[in-house]
Structure 1
Amino acid sequence: MSGARYWAAEAWLDGRWQREVLLEVGADGHWSRITAGVPLPEGAVQLEGPVLPSLVDAHSHAFQRAFAGLAERRDSESDDFWSWRDRMYGVALRITPEQLKSIGAQLYLELLRGGYTQVCEFHYLQHREDGTAYEDELAMAWALAEAAEQVGMGLTLLPVLYAHAGFQQPALRPDQRRFATDADWIWNARSRLNAAGRPLLNAGVALHSLRAAHGDDIRRLQALVGDTDLPIHIHISEQQQEVRDCLAATGQRPMQWLCNELRPDARWQLVHATHSTPAEIEQVAASGAGIVICPGTEANLGDGLCDLPGWLKAGVPISLGSDSHVTRDWVEELRWLEYGQRLGLQRRNVASAPGARPSSAERLFEAALAGSAAPAGFSAWGLRVGARADFLVLDPQASGQLGVPVTHRLDALIFGGQGQVLRQVFVAGHCRLEQGRHAAQARVSADFDVVMQTLWGGSGE
């Protein structure tokens, strides 16, 4: 609420737990003042648990929430990203704007419950089922905006340039017909979305991938963007086959080609960046671009493990994405991120920095927090003056938290907790979730159930 004052006995502030923290919200829903060491003042709302900043979910395909859990069977000799993708297209070809709104509302409510308060929607499901334009070409985008508005989630919409089926293919496949756009379409969409003036909504741009947006497409969009300060997202180096195809077509690896040919800067977010070389990491670090890691989806699709030690050592900004939404909770994403590294490298506490930040949990959380602003197009994020007044209130009685020393609270949250751990979730100073429940939860879940029954008929086939 505007002008509200909240007081926490403990809050994660400036990279450590601090006591007696007064959090003051300005009339614009952003932090006006944050002060530690202040006894509970008269009129302040006392929060009933430790306070954490929320995180930005930097990569989402909302429609894929309707597919989560329904691609976990294998009926052929092989199953990989590409076979999953073909099955996912079958879902994409069926969803209407009305259905997308219900799917999005359920997803965004779940993301709030998972500790995210802003989501970056990598949005490429644009047209009618037959590939023709809706009367309003942004019908699907508005459906997502209305879904986020319904549950009070911040939303960064990223209309996606999607023009080709592969590096050597001039057109899209028939089952990609709903995705077709060019640079001018994307720029117009971004301009209309930002001009709408909807609360908690902003827009940037995205390129699906180097295989789906070729050099000329991207350069045209770069010319339209110019020096405009906005987020630019792209899938890159998610799959080994993509790397091989890029090498065959260009003689360079994907991130190598991107850095050499397009000169990305701090506005750019490289989604996945799973398969890298030390030289590519150096190039990305020099550019100022960030990476978006999606550990749950990357594990589910068998993508592989990123070079987390390399990215951390190079100081490249890192954020998290829930992507296909098989996971919708940043605690689980950070756990997957560290555990994947432990399994691959056969050692423990891979993300820790002995002497500087010995806690893997704290280092990963701080990295994701520091990397949250740029993907959403914000100048600030977290418990900082000028940032939007978003925050989480932990339940001190939750699984993994009870009896844990303050110094190990984040360790226990990420590596020792389970189930609902948040007592409250706030967006722009307003409480959106109380004890894990949303005021619109019953309606949202009922609408989602109807959509799922319509799409799948209870069969999952």
Structure 2
Amino acid sequence: MQKIWAERALTPDGWQTNVLIDVDQDGRIKQVTPDSPLDGVGDAEKYSCILAAPANAHSHSFQRAMAGLTEQRGASKSDSFWSWRRLMFRFLEEITPEQVQAIAAYVQMEMLEAGYATNVEFHYLHHAQGGQPYGQLGEMAMRITEAAKQTGIGLSLLPVHYQYGGLNKRVPVSGQDRFCNDLDRFRTLASDCAGLVRNGASDWSSGVAPHSMRAVAPSDLKQMATLFPNGPIHMHLAEQIPEVEEVVSELGARPVEWVLDQIGPDARWHFIHLTQMLPHETEQLAKTGATAVLCPITESSLGDGIFDGPRWFDVGGRVAIGSDSNIRISLCEELRTLDYSQRLRDNSRAALATSEFSTGRRLYDAVLQGGAASAGRQTGALKAGFWADMLAFDMKHADLCGLHQDKLIDSFVFTGDNRMITDVWSAGRHMVSSGRHIHKDEITNEYLRAVKGLREEF
């Protein structure tokens, strides 16, 4: 049994003081006891401020190694998501399973140091160069799970179904062919991934991820929930204008309209980006209970567009946050970028605040709850029975010193960086201490060896 005491902590009943958190041997919170005097908690670990730690709800780990490599413009006078994607496919012509494991471990380490307790891995790099399956179909998925064993992060593994190079069933290009399966082989892969999760840590979970409307046959999309009755279902949706135009051309409806009409999504569905929606689409999709999985840093980097946050929240929509391409892994910066994008579009301030909660508090609460749903994980609160996913703030930090309650979260979101976080626990595993992952040197050295050759080739 771990005993962790905090001078202040954010609980489901609001901010409390002198909070004793008992964590059982499985990594679940057994009891949360406010008003526990410091002189009565014995040898409990003592901290100034503790909050529940959210899930990183959308990640492509291997793309971390591409950071800084895609900012040059080619012969064309314009650059876009689609030209970035061509560079990503080139990168995929080289990467090996060993490199994927080292990169994934480094990404997961950075997530933990940024305050995330869980990695929801949207895993679509399945095969060897040329699209040839490995002898073990789930070889690449196994590399993700091995990384999670090393880093101690909570894992939600989402094998991705990817069939075609585009909605008209065109043949995938080089690099892209490493993603592709027909439905039968994908079902085998998903079963293999579920087995990897069962043989991993007790807090791990799994689901499935049809990649997008452009990469999966409409007939397969319609039966995803039936074929895979357990766990969350994730899908990219309404991310880019050319994607919307392609779906309209091929299927006669905009992406969100088609999903609402043909799939009938519910709370099991988690749609990534949603940066190209009309007002009625935003409202109708939010009301289904589906989660909007937002990745503001990547969406900014790729020029995707801006999610309609006020409209989504106004009808009770649920959101989660993710680092996607992992060019910058920072929980506070994702939330800051999300809010600032709303301000820039609408010429407003505090557009996502309410009369009850400040902007930072409202966003933090939202991504705790939405992230838990997206991960299929009992987390998101300091509550008995939940996994002990927690972070501690450094109350000696200049921008936190002297602040109380929700102003702490506002300062973290709008003035902070990862240095405000001293400690992180994932299912009770104390993986970040004094701002550093406990295996940082080993993981970093393996990452440096892995990317050196890749970057030289690129």
With the length of structure 1 as denominator, give the TM-score of the two structures. Answer: 0.95
Distance in 2 (CA, whole Å) between partners of 1:123 and 1:56 is: 16
The residue type paired with residue 14 of structure 1 is P
Distance in 2 (CA, whole Å) between partners of 1:258 and 1:421 is: 40
**Which residue number corresponds to residue 85 of structure 1?**
85
Identity of aligned residues (%): 37
Distance in 2 (CA, whole Å) between partners of 1:408 and 1:380 is: 23
Distance in 2 (CA, whole Å) between partners of 1:189 and 1:30 is: 30
The residue type paired with residue 101 of structure 2 is K
Say if 1:235 and 1:270, in contact at 8 Å, map to a contact too.
yes
**Displacement of 1:378:** 2.1
**Which residue number corresponds to residue 37 of structure 2?**
39
Tell me: CA distance 1:185–1:387, structure 2 relative to 1, closer, same or farther (3 Å).
farther
Equivalences for 1:363-402 in 2 at 5 Å? Answer: 363-402=362-401
**Which residue number corresponds to residue 296 of structure 2?**
295
Distance in 2 (CA, whole Å) between partners of 1:284 and 1:152 is: 35
**Which residue number corresponds to residue 157 of structure 1?**
157
3-state SS of 2:159 partner: strand
Between stretches 186-195 and 205-214, larger displacement belongs to 186-195
Distance in 1 (CA, whole Å) between partners of 2:367 and 2:244 is: 26
Tell me: CA distance 1:403–1:7, structure 2 relative to 1, closer, same or farther (3 Å).
same
Aligned with 1:210 (options 209, 213, 227): 213
Say if 2:112 and 2:437, in contact at 8 Å, map to a contact too.
no
Distance in 2 (CA, whole Å) between partners of 1:219 and 1:44 is: 55
Distance in 2 (CA, whole Å) between partners of 1:339 and 1:42 is: 42
Q: Does the alignment pair 1:341 with 2:342?
A: yes
**Which residue number corresponds to residue 416 of structure 1?**
415
**Which residue number corresponds to residue 195 of structure 1?**
195
**Which residue number corresponds to residue 226 of structure 2?**
223
Distance in 2 (CA, whole Å) between partners of 1:214 and 1:190 is: 17
Distance in 2 (CA, whole Å) between partners of 1:190 and 1:17 is: 41
Q: Which has the higher contact order (CA 8 A, sep 6+)?
A: 2
1:157-193 Cα distance to aligned partner (Å, 9 max, x none): 1111101111223432333110111333333223223
**Which residue number corresponds to residue 146 of structure 2?**
146
Distance in 2 (CA, whole Å) between partners of 1:224 and 1:369 is: 28
3-state SS of 1:234 partner: strand
1:222-248 Cα distance to aligned partner (Å, 9 max, x none): 3322xx231100000111111111111
Say if 1:9 and 1:21, in contact at 8 Å, map to a contact too.
yes
Q: Does the alignment pair 1:442 with 2:444?
A: no
Say if 1:399 and 1:421, in contact at 8 Å, map to a contact too.
no
Tell me: CA distance 1:403–1:179, structure 2 relative to 1, closer, same or farther (3 Å).
same
Say if 1:327 and 1:333, in contact at 8 Å, map to a contact too.
no
3-state SS of 1:326 partner: coil
Equivalences for 1:250-329 in 2 at 5 Å? Answer: 250-329=251-330
**Which residue number corresponds to residue 49 of structure 1?**
48
The residue type paired with residue 404 of structure 1 is L
Say if 1:319 and 1:371, in contact at 8 Å, map to a contact too.
yes
The residue type paired with residue 314 of structure 1 is V
**Displacement of 1:421:** 0.8
**Which residue number corresponds to residue 7 of structure 2?**
9
Aligned with 1:29 (options 27, 30, 48): 27
The residue type paired with residue 263 of structure 1 is G
Say if 2:113 and 2:418, in contact at 8 Å, map to a contact too.
no
**Displacement of 1:356:** 2.4
Say if 2:93 and 2:174, in contact at 8 Å, map to a contact too.
no
**Displacement of 1:13:** 1.2
Tell me: CA distance 1:55–1:89, structure 2 relative to 1, closer, same or farther (3 Å).
same
**Which residue number corresponds to residue 351 of structure 1?**
352
Tell me: CA distance 1:138–1:342, structure 2 relative to 1, closer, same or farther (3 Å).
same
The residue type paired with residue 143 of structure 2 is A
3-state SS of 1:269 partner: strand
**Displacement of 1:379:** 4.1
Distance in 1 (CA, whole Å) between partners of 2:400 and 2:225 is: 47
Equivalences for 1:165-184 in 2 at 5 Å? Answer: 165-184=165-184
Distance in 2 (CA, whole Å) between partners of 1:241 and 1:96 is: 31
Say if 1:6 and 1:23, in contact at 8 Å, map to a contact too.
yes
Q: Which runs of 5+ in 2 are unaligned?
A: none
Say if 2:129 and 2:175, in contact at 8 Å, map to a contact too.
no
Say if 1:256 and 1:283, in contact at 8 Å, map to a contact too.
no
Say if 2:424 and 2:430, in contact at 8 Å, map to a contact too.
yes
The residue type paired with residue 198 of structure 1 is G
Say if 1:47 and 1:393, in contact at 8 Å, map to a contact too.
no
Say if 1:342 and 1:349, in contact at 8 Å, map to a contact too.
yes
3-state SS of 1:116 partner: coil
**Which residue number corresponds to residue 234 of structure 1?**
235
**Displacement of 1:44:** 4.7
With the length of structure 2 as denominator, give the TM-score of the two structures. Answer: 0.95
Q: Which runs of 5+ in 1 are unaligned?
A: none
Q: Does the alignment pair 1:69 with 2:68?
A: yes
Say if 1:4 and 1:26, in contact at 8 Å, map to a contact too.
yes
